[in-house]
């Protein structure tokens, strides 16, 4: 009797999930440096945030098991291409430069970058030297690529993490910072960020790419198709808005009627 059940179970599992049967859990790469509200980590090492939840929802939609794997941001693309992780769900903008090395899913959100500065500071975003202001930005981001191009004469400071940019803006070592609008809108609401204001939103630029997508290896075409289907399904079912509603007061997907 026992044997028949085992045999039946084995046959069933083989029949049901030819692919999923031997599949390893997918390693979902996130930036090891927290980036609230997209990703943050508690003292026990549990990750939460919009990116994390969307990543999990995509995995559930695909019927795959996933593990959140933190990787240092400036090494996250090499980590993907070398197979240490299988996908990047880390607020990564889809850009031409990155597309030379990796593929992206369809976008899962889109926000432009915003200039943030202490309330009394005037930010002249039209002059090539930013009116002599010192600007801080996290290196390896679309914001960094944009300011290096748009403000060739400005003094630009590059940081490893957004936290350090925030700290130095508070300490007055930089006058203004440019970072993702969604993160900045939240930041100026926090106690540390309350002395700052969103001064301007950066214009649309190719440096900012086509929005934020899931980063994937070029050869993983099947996974890319699955992820795209999953994102479409999440948008369709309303699950996306359910998750986004917990974090944002505006439509983070952008461009929807």
Partner 1 sequence: MDFDWLPRYWPLLVEGFWRTLWLVALSGVFGFLLAIPVALAQVAGGRILAGLSRAFTTTIRGTPLLVQLYLVYYGLGSLMADIPAIRYGPLWPYLRDGFWYATFAFTISVAAYQGEIIRGGLLAVPRGEIEAARAFGMRRSRILRRIWLPRALQVSLPALSGEAILLLKSTPLAATVTVIDLFGAANVVRSETFLTYEPLLFVAAVYVLCAFVIAVAFRLIERRVPSRRGL
* Choices 54-62, 136-144, 192-200, 233-241; region in contact with partner 1 by CB under 8 A: 136-144
Q: Does 125 bind partner 1 (CB under 8 A)?
A: no
Q: Does 171 bind partner 1 (CB under 8 A)?
A: yes
Report the candidate in 110, 92, 75, 87 with the shortest Cα–Cα distance to residue 35: 92
As a dihedral over the C-alpha atoms of residue 14, residue 16, residue 18, residue 24, rounded to 10 degrees, the angle is -90
Q: How far is the CB of 148 from partner 1 (least distance, A)?
A: 7
Q: Does 140 bind partner 1 (CB under 8 A)?
A: yes
Q: Which residues pair with 136 in a beta bridge?
A: 157, 177
CB atoms within 10 A of CB 249: 9
Q: Does 167 bind partner 1 (CB under 8 A)?
A: yes
With CB under 8 A as the contact rule, the residue among 106, 168, 205, 229 that binds partner 1 is 168
Q: In this structure, are strands 196-201 and 176-180 parallel, antiparallel, or unpaired?
A: unpaired
Q: How far is the CB of 6 from partner 1 (least distance, A)?
A: 49
Q: Does 159 bind partner 1 (CB under 8 A)?
A: yes
Q: Does 157 bind partner 1 (CB under 8 A)?
A: yes
Q: How far is the CB of 147 from partner 1 (least distance, A)?
A: 12
62 vs 79, which CB is nearer to partner 1?
79
Q: Does 98 bind partner 1 (CB under 8 A)?
A: yes
Q: Does 55 bind partner 1 (CB under 8 A)?
A: no
Distance set, CA 214 to CA 61, 103, 104, 227 (Å): 14, 8, 5, 8
As a dihedral over the C-alpha atoms of residue 58, residue 254, residue 74, residue 195, rounded to 10 degrees, the angle is -120
Q: How far is the CB of 145 from partner 1 (least distance, A)?
A: 6
Looking up tokens 């996908």 gives 87
Taking the C-alpha atoms of residue 125 and residue 203, their distance in angstroms, rounded to an integer, is 10
* Choices 117-125, 158-166, 198-206, 248-256; region in contact with partner 1 by CB under 8 A: 158-166
Q: Does 97 bind partner 1 (CB under 8 A)?
A: yes
What angle, 0 to 180 degrees and rounded to 10, lies between the N-to-C axes of helices 50-62 and 239-247?
170
Q: Does 1 bind partner 1 (CB under 8 A)?
A: no
């Amino acid at each position: 009797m026992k044997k028949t059940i085992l045999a039946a179970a084995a046959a069933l599992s083989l029949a049901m999930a030819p692919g999923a049967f031997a599949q390893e859990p997918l390693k979902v790469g996130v930036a090891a440096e927290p980036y609230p509200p997209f990703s943050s980590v508690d003292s026990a090492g549990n990750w939460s945030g919009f990116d994390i939840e969307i990543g999990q929802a995509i995995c559930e939609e695909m019927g795959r098991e996933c593990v959140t794997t933190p990787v240092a941001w400036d090494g996250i693309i090499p980590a993907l291409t070398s197979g240490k992780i299988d996908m990047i769900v880390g607020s990564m903008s889809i850009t031409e430069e990155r597309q030379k090395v990796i593929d992206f899913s369809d976008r899962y959100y889109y926000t432009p970058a915003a200039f943030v500065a202490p309330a009394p500071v005037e930010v002249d975003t039209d002059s090539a030297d930013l009116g002599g202001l010192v600007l801080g930005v996290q290196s390896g981001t679309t914001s960094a690529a944009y300011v290096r191009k748009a403000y060739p004469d400005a003094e630009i400071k590059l940081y490893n993490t957004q936290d350090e940019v925030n700290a130095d803006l508070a300490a007055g070592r930089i006058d203004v910072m440019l970072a993702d609008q969604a993160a900045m809108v939240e930041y100026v609401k926090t106690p540390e960020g309350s002395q700052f204001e969103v001064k301007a939103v950066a214009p649309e630029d190719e440096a900012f790419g086509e929005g934020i997508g899931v980063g994937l290896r070029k050869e993983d075409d099947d996974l890319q198709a699955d992820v795209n289907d999953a994102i479409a399904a999440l948008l369709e079912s309303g699950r996306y808005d359910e998750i986004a509603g917990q974090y944002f007061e505006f439509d983070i997907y952008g461009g929807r009627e």
